[in-house]
Amino acid sequence: MLNWLRRPDAKELGNEAYKEKNLDEAVLQYTRGLERCQGTAQTEERSKLLANRSAAHAKLGDYDAALADAEEASRLQPDWPKAWARKGKALTCLQRHKAAASSYARGLEAALTLMQTNDERHERELEALRKQAKTASDSYLTLLGETETLKRQLEDYTLMFGERETGGKAKAG
């Protein structure tokens, strides 16, 4: 769905065209996005545009173009499973089943590695949160202990000095 508060980029326009089965427009928009997407800083974006254009080419029956885009996407981002899936799809459509199986296997391997990496990162983030929560909890308990100490000191102070201020008798020391 397009965000109407800002001008949509070529990828978003391509995605909308693809969803509406306006595949020629999708290819055009992805191509425009690729023309604007230069340099190594945009490798991930470029890979996504190529993979999306590959899917549009495949739906149009242009399997050679689909394969070319998928190969470039998987070259740019070899750890991205979708790039390998797009390559596998194009190879399947070209009746190159052995190569397709190899691409799907690479995609599966990339997906498993990504899941493991995400699980490890997730575990590290959880451990950091646990440590932060423990520190906050310990600080809170320390503060509660200090509050109780201050309450006792205030009660003692009131017992010791409260009567003098009210005109009562001071305790004998």
**Structure confidence by residue, pLDDT tens digits, 151-164:** 888 888 888 887 55
pLDDT band at 2 (very low <50, low <70, confident <90, very high): low
Which pLDDT value is given to residue 84?
Answer: 94
Would residue 56 count as lying in a domain?
yes
Domain count for the chain = 1
Phi-psi bin for 2: left (phi > 0), alpha (psi -120 to 50), beta?
beta
| Domain encompassing residue 54 | 10-108
Residue 103 in domain:
yes
pLDDT of residue 36: 87
pLDDT tier for residue 131 given thresholds of 50, 70 and 90: confident
Q: What is the spatial distance between Cα 86 and Cα 97, in angstroms, rounded to a whole number?
A: 14
pLDDT-derived band at 166 (thresholds 50, 70, 90) equals very low
In-domain check, residue 93: yes
| Band of residue 81 on the pLDDT scale cut at 50, 70, 90 | very high
Q: How confident is the model at residue 5 (pLDDT cuts 50, 70, 90)?
A: low
- CA proximity to 23, closest of 51, 67, 57, 46: 57
Look at residue 50 and tell me if it is in a domain.
yes
pLDDT digit string (tens) for 9-37? 999 999 999 999 999 999 999 999 999 88
More confident call, 39 vs 10: 10
Task: Indicate if the alpha-carbon torsion angle 86, 90, 92, 97 is positive or negative.
Answer: negative
pLDDT at 79 (0 to 100): 93
Question: In CATH, what number is assigned to the domain containing residue 61?
Answer: 1.25.40.10
The answer as to whether 129 is a domain residue is no
